[in-house]
Structure 1
Amino acid sequence: MKETLKIFIGNVDDRTTEEEITDLFQKFGPVVSCAVMKQYAFVHMRGAERARKAIDELNGRELHGKRMVVELSKPRPQNTWKIFVGNVSTACDASELRTMFEAYGRVVECDVVKDYAFVHMEKESDARAAIENLNGKEIKGKRINVEMSNKVSRPMNANAGLLLTAVIQN
Structure 2
Amino acid sequence: MNIFVGNLNFQTTENQLKEVFTSFGEVTSVKIVTDKFSGSSRGFAFIEMPDHTQAEKAIQELQNYSLNNRNMVVNEANQRDDNNRYNK
Q: TM-score, with normalisation over the residues of structure 2?
A: 0.83
Correspondence 1:67 to 2:71? yes
Root-mean-square deviation (CA), in Å?
1.3
Letter in structure 2 aligned against 1:6: N
Higher relative contact order (CA 8 A, sep 6+): 2
- Residue 85 of structure 2: aligned partner: 80
* Alignment of 1:30 onto 2:11: no
- Name whichever structure is richer in strand by fraction: 1
- Describe the superposition over 1:39-98 as per-residue Cα deviations: whole angstroms up to 9, x where unpaired: 1000000211000000001111111111100010011244113xxxxxxxxxxxxxxxxx
SS of aligned partner of 1:31: coil
The residue that corresponds to 2:38 in the other structure is none
Residue 52 (1) aligns with residue 56 (2): yes
Count of residues in correspondence between the two structures: 79
Q: 1:19 & 1:26 partners in 2: Cα distance?
A: 10
Cα distance in 2, alignment partners of residues 73 and 7 from structure 1? 5
Work out the CA distance in 2 between the residues paired with 1:63 and 1:14.
Answer: 11
- Higher alpha-carbon Rg: 1
User: What is aligned with 2:9?
Assistant: 13
Structure 2 unaligned spans of 5+: 34-41
1:21 & 1:64 partners in 2: Cα distance?
A: 11
Structure 1 alignment gaps of length 5 or more:
82-121, 124-170
